[in-house]
Amino acid sequence: MTERLYQPDFSCIFGEKYANAFLYGQIDSLIWPIFKDIEMSEKLEQLLKLKNKQGREYFYHRKISVEDEIVELNCANIDLGLIQGMDLGRKYGISNVDVIRAVKKQPKIFRGVLSYDLSAHSGTGDIISDIAQVKKDIKIAGIVLYPSYTRLDLLDDTNLELKNLLNYCKKNDFFVRIDMGNLFIPDNYAEFISYPILKSFFSRNPKNIFILSGMDVAGELNLYYPLLKYFNNVWIEIDPRTIGGTTPTDCFRQLFAIKGFIQNCWHRLLIGSATPTLEISQMVRGFLGATEELPFSQKCILRTWAFRNANRLNHKVFPLKSRYEPQLFKTFISLKQEKAIENNNYVEVSYKIQLRSYSITQLLYLSDLIKEIFRKTISEYPNLQNGELFIRSYHTTTSLIVNEHEFGNYLDLHFLFAEISRQDSSQFLHTLSALENRADFNHYDHELASTLGSRQLTLPILNRNLEIGGRENFYILVTFGPRTFQLFIKIRLIKE
């Protein structure tokens, strides 16, 4: 709940549609379609019969029904699940038919992740037509490939099926999941996945979204997660194969202790249960336990997005959870021109802007709004070159801030201000017994507004441009919210 009370305005990072993360449900990103009340394909039946030399199952699974799974999802506050196939080009695996049957059983909760064997020896048919046909029956979120099991050469330029699939996924906003092959089943050709191979593959396909899945925390994850620093189209998934010999809580602790992991991965991180191998409730419990020990900013950002990131992969297949529309959480409400004055010396145009915050403390991005008002005004006076733009806030618990808009820096500032404002102010004199016969207990909100930033700013206009630094951006810190508030902007252009 704390994360919701102090969430940033994510519109300046992800766009207006995803300004409020809590409009979207939490997602279990990996569920195998193995349920006792759904008919299994022959391939799936063969997979579950596979045993090692000691007579134990290669593919462990709990015998649960779809109803059992719904109860588990509800317990963990998870709203949606991705049902994944496993086409290994063998007599065993998880057929797309299994995926389709499971998703059809609960179409409001499940989404499909189809699988195809694209190796040179596969002789696969028309994959694109098959996907198009499946799309008529269920909602598809993405495609998963198993290079080390199918001996798929990701760098083979002659593999037209792979090229066609990548192009199709790009056009339809489907992610492509690359599974590292840690499933403990026979005939795993590890040489088909390596750091150089993946780095080259990602660099050749910059417009596809890729998800790295099935890494173990002890070795592979440290090796491969830095790829997220180099490629903005690469995401990472954590599932029980990551855990290996520890508890989910300790696994997440290890992950979060990796230098740079949270900073590089929080917005491109998925978490799956691999149900019916493990329960999503256990993954959530471990995640909450590990995040509880983190600094306020990291705890909030992970708890906000880690189970929600998948929503941003494809807005067509992940619906709003909330009854509220994203439009309600736009920070801009209205712009009204107050007056325009013109004399022999200057032109002066004044505006009143109404804005809204939607959490208790929020740092709102103003640069685009200020620049748009400036462009609108100066276009009406094409012969005037120089002047100034003046901006002022009316409110005693707001402050105008100038800083760099790198989204990590923005989030650091936001959570710093939020952490200060949420401190207990009961020792101060500005408390419950206010002169206006109302409760006042927001000393730190006033302190922030008085000591950080400024109540007003003046920006020079030279040669029809705002004279500001290349990294200077403008925000307003709004505390004691959610609230609507006003800004005043005056643009004066000098007649020379």
pLDDT digits (tens, 9 = 90+) for 13-23: 999 999 999 99
Neighbouring-strand partners of residue 238? 271
**Token representation of residue 495:** 């007649």
**Token representation of residue 492:** 């004066």
Within 8 A by CB and 6+ apart from 185, the residues are 47, 50, 58, 59, 92, 149
- How many residues does this entry show for the chain? 496
Same domain? For 350 and 301 the reply is: no
Positions in the chain whose pLDDT score sits under 70: 120-125, 431-438
Same domain? For 363 and 233 the reply is: no
The residue from 271, 288, 313 where one domain ends is 313
Same domain? For 153 and 202 the reply is: yes
CATH number at residue 405: 2.60.120.460
pTM of the predicted structure, to 2 decimals: 0.94
The residue from 263, 280, 313 where one domain ends is 313
Q: Is 406 exposed, middle or buried (0-12, 13-18, 19+ CB in 10 A)?
A: exposed
Q: Does residue 452 belong to any structural domain of this protein?
A: yes
Q: What integer pLDDT is reported at residue 73 of this predicted model?
A: 98
DSSP H/E element including 262? helix 261-265
Q: Does residue 10 belong to any structural domain of this protein?
A: no
Q: Does residue 359 belong to any structural domain of this protein?
A: yes
Q: Does residue 487 belong to any structural domain of this protein?
A: yes
Report the sign of the C-alpha dihedral through residues 301, 303, 304, 306, in that order: positive
Same domain? For 84 and 31 the reply is: yes
Q: What integer pLDDT is reported at residue 123 of this predicted model?
A: 57
Q: Does residue 8 belong to any structural domain of this protein?
A: no
Q: Does residue 479 belong to any structural domain of this protein?
A: yes
Q: Which residue has the tokens 């402050």?
A: 399
Same domain? For 153 and 118 the reply is: yes
Same domain? For 351 and 305 the reply is: no
Torsion angle, CA of 303/306/310/312, rounded to 10 degrees?
A: 60
Same domain? For 304 and 333 the reply is: no
Neighbouring-strand partners of residue 489? 351, 391
Q: What integer pLDDT is reported at residue 435 of this predicted model?
A: 66
Query: Into how many domains does the chain fold?
Result: 2
Within 8 A by CB and 6+ apart from 209, the residues are 142, 169, 173, 175, 176, 233, 235, 313
**Token representation of residue 127:** 């994959």
Q: Which domain holds residue 203?
A: 25-313
Residue of 191, 189, 236 whose CA lies nearest to 215? 236
The residue from 288, 313, 338 where one domain ends is 313
Same domain? For 168 and 286 the reply is: yes
Same domain? For 378 and 232 the reply is: no
CB 390 within 8 A of CB 349: no
Within 8 A by CB and 6+ apart from 180, the residues are 148, 193, 212, 213, 214, 215, 220, 224
Q: What integer pLDDT is reported at residue 121 of this predicted model?
A: 55
Q: What integer pLDDT is reported at residue 322 of this predicted model?
A: 85
Report, in angstroms and rounded to the nearest whole number, the Rg of the chain calculated over CA atoms: 27
CB 108 within 8 A of CB 91: no
Q: Does residue 337 belong to any structural domain of this protein?
A: yes
Q: Does residue 453 belong to any structural domain of this protein?
A: yes
Same domain? For 301 and 384 the reply is: no
